[in-house]
Each structure stands twice: as structure tokens, then as C-alpha cells.
């Protein structure tokens, strides 16, 4: 038996969002009389950080501390409409809707403050720490809580805002087939090193190195966490997971975690990530979002790495030991392609 | 169905409950006592999110008969923090972004606590082995392994809880 080391590379150009009849998301923002803000969304946080990132976006736009903002994604029956948390669309679509809603709420808050301070709302600024004051005259000041309280109890205003972000349906040009389904793309390149055992057909992922360009990283630690976890999912799709191992034959599908294979903590490899920031002109504070593309480049890179290691070209996922061994046998042994230096 | 009385300690306080024949410990903790920190993932011993400590040893509560904890000391994630002060493992998980959806987190914390209680300076390999019965679908494990090693390094993982 021998272990064969191989290296595979893949790069991707990843569209943010989708275009099946238009791609809208809505947000509603309102303050309570104590000056805390609620962002109502139907955009579910699956663990990827939807709530954290929309909270940051709302706080930044409103000009209040992040602690003063709550995000409620409770229920698509009671919340404003969202297409959903998929297609890597959350940060971009929902973030933009939150900015629009927060801007409207902010302007009401400033009008309420202006009425209390007897100044022009256009002269007011927020300090991001919970205060509103006259530009250049910080002593003429009111807290955001006082302004929201006055709006509620004295002035009869709702400090609230509505937001929607829509990428409209792009029709296909019947002459040319041309369309513009998305407004921005994220990018990634990934290199993976694997060891392939020519006796058992097993793959050991040794190392991953990657670079992701995803607009501005609105929360860099969250982004990194998502990329690390997503690469594991990619690796899992590439060589472990399948619901129909003999597709299109449906039998022998796994029914539970006893049978559904995934890499465990002992199967992971060191992964170095470089995050490149190229703010998107139409992204919220330049963000596009990592989303699904955390997993995408891993699959083709692993297939390429196996080919590089033993000369077997896998064209159906997952890359199982059985497929590798059949390929090695068909080739009359492990036959890595000639390497260029 | 016959009910049996069972007495044990949960996170330091005495509990006495009636359990049904064949009732599992996870169900007793969640439904009978209202401690929702151990999670139900699979109910068949393959995901680890229901892990609790019985006399300091990690057990899958979904596969443990409730009546067998008579007279024993149970620890769940609800018993990790002292007041507002998080356990070193909880703090390290938070600092290290070791949770995404959080569904595996209670089981990971309990498996890690059992490890650090018996081995305060584990190697990376020992951490991997300690959590190898716990599935995480989100993080790729790396942040969890690192958080456990950080908690061990901070040295106060054993001071309370
Ligand atoms: S619920 Fe007990 S191991 Fe999954
Ligand atoms: S954080 Fe989601 S399963 Fe571990």
C-alpha cells in the first residue's frame, strides 16, 4: 500500500441572491418608549449570524449603540416578508432593507429630538453612544431614549421605519439570451492537499488554503467562523455525505446519524483563510456575504486533488473509497498525472 | 403506567421526581424538571447533544434510564455558570465563536467539562477524542477544539461548577 499526496485547486465566481420572479426582502424598525429599537425581520438566523449582522447594520444606521438594538426574526406569519435565508442573499438583501427602514426611523427620532431642543432637525447628529446633539454644540443635547419617549408621550409620533430591498426580475432577452439576474458577485479560490490510500481508497484531507473576496467583512470574526464551518460542509459533501448513494436508484439511503456519514473532529485539516475586501457598491456598507460559497470551491478542489494524487477522475459525488478503488483498478494502478514544476 | 420515585442531585440541589417505566433521563430532565439545557438531537445515541454528567462522567441522557440516577450527582449546562460568572468553557466558546446555531453546544460543553475535570491540560488529540461522540453541523469543529484548549490554558476551568 502507498499513500499518494495530491493537490487540487478551484476558484469560483459566486452570484449573491437569485432571480426567480424578483428578489425582495423587507424590514421594519421601531423604537419602544425607552429608546431601544426593534428590527422585525422574517429572515431566519440559521447560525450564520443573520441577527448579529443586521443588528450591527441597524445600530450603525440609527446612530445608537448596538446594545440598544434587538432583532426579532420570530415568525414569517407576523414579520415583514422575506424570500428567505438562502442563495447567500441575507447580508446583501436584508441588510439593505434594514438600512432603509433604520434611516426612516432615524429621521423621525431626529424630528422628535429637534422639537424638544427647539432646533432644526437638519442640524442634529448622533454620537453612537445614545446621544443626539446639535452639530458643533455638544451641550445642546438629548438622549435617544428621551427623544423616543417624547415622541411617544408628548408628540404622538411613532419612531419607526419601513424598508425593502428588491432586485427586480430580469427578463431574458429573446434575441441574445442576455439577462442581469444579480447585481454583485463574490469570489473565492481554494487549494486543498489530500493523501489518498491506494489500498483502502480513503482520502485524508491534509491542509486547506483559501482566499475569499466577499465585499466588506461586516463582522470579520463571524465571517471567518462561517468560512471555516462552510469549508467543512464542502469537504463533507465532497467525500462523505449522500442521501442516495446509488442514485438514481433510491435504495440504501441513510436514515439517521448512524448511517449518514460526516467528517468528525478528527477528520478536519488546518485551514488558512485570507479575506479580501472589495466593498460592493450596492451592498450594505459594502457587504456581499459569504453564504453558500464557503462550501462551493472545496468540492471541485477535492476532486482535482484526487486526480492529482492517483490519476482517478471522479465525476459523481461523493468521492467514496469504492469509486477511487474502481478507478485505480481500471487504470491498472495509481497513475498520477505527470507533474509540471 | 407504574411510576417510581427517584432522588438525586441536579447541579448541586436535591431533586425528587416520579419517573415512568422506561422513561429516559433526557425526557425526565426536560419534561419532568424543566431543565432545557440538554438538547434532543437524535434520541438514539449518535449526536451527543443530550450529554450530561453523572458523577462527573459524560453520559448520553437519551440512552440512560431515568431511574438509574437514584442517589447520583448530575450536572447539566444549566449548572456551569456561577451566578453571572460564566464557566471558563462557556467564556472560551463565546470568545472563540465556537457556536453558530448552538444546537450542539450544551453537549460539547459537557463533554469538554468531563475532559478538563479529569485532565486539565489535554493535548489537541485528547480534545478531539473527548468530543468525537458529538456532532456539530455548523462550525467545522475547529473553533470548538480551540475554545476547549483556550479554556484549559486559562486554568480556571476547574475552579467552579
Ligand atoms: S439526543 Fe442523545 S445522542 Fe442524540
Ligand atoms: S453550532 Fe450548530 S451544530 Fe454545532
* Same domain, yes or no: B70 and B14: yes
Q: Is A147 left (phi over 0), alpha (psi -120 to 50) or beta?
A: alpha
pLDDT tens digit sequence for B30-45: 999 999 999 999 999 9
Q: Is B118 left (phi over 0), alpha (psi -120 to 50) or beta?
A: alpha
- Cβ distance B142 to A228 less than 8 Å, yes or no, reads yes
Index of the ligand 1 atom closest to the CA of residue B42? 4
pLDDT of residue A140 exceeding 60: yes
What is the CATH number for B33?
A: 3.10.20.30
pLDDT tens digit sequence for A270-324: 999 999 999 999 999 999 988 899 999 999 999 999 999 999 999 999 999 999 9
- pLDDT given at position B160: 46
Task: Give the number of domains in chain B.
Answer: 2
| Threshold 0.90, pTM exceeds | yes
* Same domain, yes or no: B147 and B106: yes
3-state per-residue secondary structure call for chain A: CCEEEEEEEEEEEEECCCCCCCEEEEEEEEECCCCCEEEECCCCCCCCCHHHHHHHHHHHHHCCCHHHEEEECCCCCCCCCECCCCCCCHHHHHHHHHHHHHHHHHHHHHHHHHHHHCCCHHHEEECCCCEEEECCEEEEEEEHHHHHHHHHHHHCCCCEEEEEEEECCCCCCCCCCCCCCCCCEEEEEEEEEEEEECCCCCEEEEEEEEEEECECCCCHHHHHHHHHHHHHHHHHHHHCCCCCCCCCCCCCCCCCCCCCCCCCCCCCCCEEEEEECCCCCCCHHHECCCHHHHCCCHHHHHHHHHHHHHCCCCCCCCCCHHHHHHHHHHCCCCCCCCCCC
pLDDT of residue B1 exceeding 80: no
Is A245 buried (19+), middle (13-18) or exposed (0-12) by CB count in 10 A?
middle
Closest C-alpha among B157, B148, B152, B147 to residue B130 = B148
All cell numbers assigned to B54:
453523572
Mean pLDDT computed over A104-132: 97
- pLDDT given at position A338: 86
The rounded percent of chain A whose pLDDT value lies above 90 is: 87
Measured CA to CA, the distance from residue B75 to residue B15 in angstroms comes to 12
pLDDT of residue B48 exceeding 50: yes
Mean pLDDT computed over B105-133: 97
Determine contact: B124 vs chain A, CB below 8 A.
Answer: no
Q: Measured in angstroms, how far is the CA atom of residue A233 from the centroid of ligand 2?
A: 12
H or E stretch including B151? helix B142-154
Q: What is the DSSP letter of B12?
A: T
Q: Decide: A306 and A192 in contact? Cβ < 8 Å.
A: no
Q: What is the DSSP letter of B31?
A: I
Q: Where in chain A is the domain with CATH 3.30.365.10?
A: 3-15+183-330, 23-167
- pLDDT given at position A288: 94
Q: What is the greatest pairwise CA distance in chain B?
A: 50
Task: Give the pairing type, strands A37-40 and A23-31.
Answer: antiparallel
Index of the ligand 1 atom closest to the CA of residue B48? 3
- Cβ distance A47 to B145 less than 8 Å, yes or no, reads no
Determine contact: B102 vs chain A, CB below 8 A.
Answer: yes
> What is chain B's mean pLDDT, rounded?
95
Closest C-alpha among A294, A326, A298 to residue A313 = A326
- pLDDT given at position A1: 77
* Assigned domain for B160 exists: no
CB atoms within 10 A of CB A341: 2
Mean pLDDT computed over B138-146: 97
pLDDT band at A33 (very low <50, low <70, confident <90, very high): confident
Q: Could you give the 3-state DSSP secondary structure of residue B82?
A: strand
Domain boundary among B79, B101, B124: B79
Q: What is the DSSP letter of B150?
A: H
Which CATH number fits the domain A3-15+183-330, given the four candidates 3.40.50.2300, 3.30.365.10, 3.40.720.10, 3.40.50.720? 3.30.365.10
Can you name the CATH fold of A23-167? Aldehyde Oxidoreductase; domain 4 (3.30.365)
Q: Which residue of A265, A269, A298 to mutate against B (max B Cβ within 10 Å)? A: A265
Residue in B38, B49, B58, B135 to alter for ligand 1 test, most ligand atoms within 8 A of Cβ: B49
Mean pLDDT computed over A109-128: 97
Measured CA to CA, the distance from residue B35 to residue B69 in angstroms comes to 16
* Same domain, yes or no: B75 and B121: no
What is the CATH number for B126?
A: 1.10.150.120
Domain boundary among B36, B57, B79: B79
* Same domain, yes or no: B9 and B69: yes
pLDDT band at B158 (very low <50, low <70, confident <90, very high): low
- pLDDT given at position B156: 67
- pLDDT given at position A245: 87
- DSSP E strand boundaries for chain B: 3-10, 13-20, 51-54, 57-60, 73-75
The rounded percent of chain B whose pLDDT value lies above 70 is: 96
Measured CA to CA, the distance from residue A80 to residue A164 in angstroms comes to 9
B55 is in which domain, residue-wise? 3-79
* Same domain, yes or no: B94 and B50: no
- pLDDT given at position A246: 86
Closest C-alpha among A216, A221, A57, A129 to residue B146 = A221
CA neighbours closer than 13 Å in the CB half-sphere of residue A116:
28
The rounded percent of chain B whose pLDDT value lies above 90 is: 93
- pLDDT given at position A18: 87
Judged by average pLDDT, the poorest of A44-53, A158-167, A295-304, B118-127 is A44-53
pLDDT tens digit sequence for A46-64: 888 999 999 999 999 999 9
Amino acid at each position: 500500500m502507498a499513500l499518494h499526496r495530491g493537490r487540487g485547486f478551484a476558484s469560483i465566481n459566486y452570484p449573491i441572491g437569485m432571480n426567480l420572479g424578483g428578489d425582495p426582502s423587507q424590514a421594519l424598525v421601531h423604537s419602544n418608549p425607552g429608546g431601544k429599537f426593534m428590527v422585525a425581520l422574517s429572515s431566519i438566523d440559521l447560525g450564520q449570524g443573520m441577527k448579529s449582522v443586521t443588528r450591527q447594520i441597524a445600530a450603525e444606521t440609527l446612530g445608537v449603540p448596538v446594545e440598544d438594538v434587538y432583532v426579532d426574526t420570530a415568525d414569517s406569519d407576523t414579520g415583514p416578508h422575506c424570500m428567505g435565508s438562502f442563495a447567500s442573499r441575507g447580508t446583501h438583501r436584508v441588510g439593505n432593507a434594514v438600512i432603509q427602514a433604520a434611516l426612516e426611523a432615524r429621521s423621525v427620532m431626529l424630528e422628535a429630538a429637534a422639537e424638544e431642543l427647539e432646533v432644526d432637525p437638519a442640524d442634529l447628529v448622533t454620537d453612537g453612544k445614545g446621544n443626539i446633539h446639535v452639530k458643533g454644540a455638544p451641550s445642546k443635547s438629548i438622549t435617544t431614549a428621551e427623544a423616543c419617549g417624547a415622541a411617544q408621550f408628548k408628540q404622538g409620533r411613532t419612531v419607526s421605519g419601513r424598508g425593502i430591498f428588491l432586485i427586480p426580475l430580469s427578463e431574458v432577452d429573446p434575441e441574445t439570451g442576455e439577462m442581469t439576474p444579480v447585481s454583485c458577485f463574490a469570489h473565492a479560490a481554494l487549494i486543498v492537499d489530500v493523501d489518498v490510500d491506494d489500498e483502502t481508497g480513503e482520502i485524508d484531507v491534509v491542509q486547506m488554503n483559501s482566499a475569499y473576496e466577499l465585499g466588506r467583512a461586516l463582522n470579520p470574526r463571524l465571517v471567518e467562523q462561517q468560512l471555516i464551518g462552510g469549508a467543512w460542509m464542502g469537504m463533507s459533501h465532497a467525500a462523505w455525505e449522500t442521501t442516495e448513494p446509488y442514485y438514481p436508484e433510491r435504495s440504501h439511503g441513510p436514515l439517521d446519524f448512524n448511517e449518514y456519514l460526516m467528517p468528525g473532529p478528527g477528520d478536519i485539516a488546518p485551514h488558512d483563510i485570507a479575506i479580501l475586501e472589495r466593498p460592493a457598491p450596492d451592498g450594505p456598507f459594502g457587504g456581499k456575504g459569504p453564504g453558500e460559497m464557503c462550501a462551493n470551491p472545496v468540492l471541485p478542489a477535492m476532486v482535482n486533488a484526487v486526480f492529482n494524487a492517483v490519476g482517478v477522475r471522479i465525476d459523481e459525488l461523493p468521492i467514496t473509497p469504492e469509486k477511487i478503488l474502481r478507478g485505480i483498478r481500471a487504470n491498472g494502478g495509481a497513475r498520477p498525472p505527470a507533474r509540471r514544476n | 403506567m407504574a411510576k417510581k420515585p427517584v432522588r438525586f442531585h441536579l447541579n448541586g440541589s436535591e431533586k425528587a421526581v416520579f419517573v415512568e417505566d422506561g422513561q429516559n433521563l433526557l425526557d425526565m430532565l426536560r419534561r419532568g424538571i424543566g431543565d432545557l439545557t440538554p438538547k434532543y438531537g437524535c434520541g438514539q445515541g449518535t449526536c451527543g447533544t443530550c450529554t450530561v454528567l453523572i458523577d462527573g462522567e459524560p453520559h448520553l441522557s437519551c440512552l440512560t434510564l431515568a431511574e438509574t440516577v437514584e442517589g447520583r450527582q448530575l450536572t447539566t449546562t444549566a449548572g456551569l455558570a456561577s451566578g453571572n460568572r460564566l464557566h471558563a468553557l462557556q467564556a472560551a466558546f463565546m470568545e472563540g465563536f465556537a457556536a453558530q446555531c448552538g444546537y450542539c453546544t450544551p453537549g460539547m460543553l459537557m463533554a469538554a467539562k468531563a475532559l478538563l475535570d479529569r485532565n486539565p491540560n489535554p493535548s489537541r488529540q485528547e480534545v478531539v477524542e473527548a468530543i468525537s461522540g458529538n456532532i456539530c453541523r455548523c462550525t467545522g469543529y475547529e473553533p470548538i477544539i480551540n475554545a476547549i484548549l483556550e479554556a484549559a490554558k486559562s486554568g480556571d476551568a476547574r475552579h467552579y461548577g
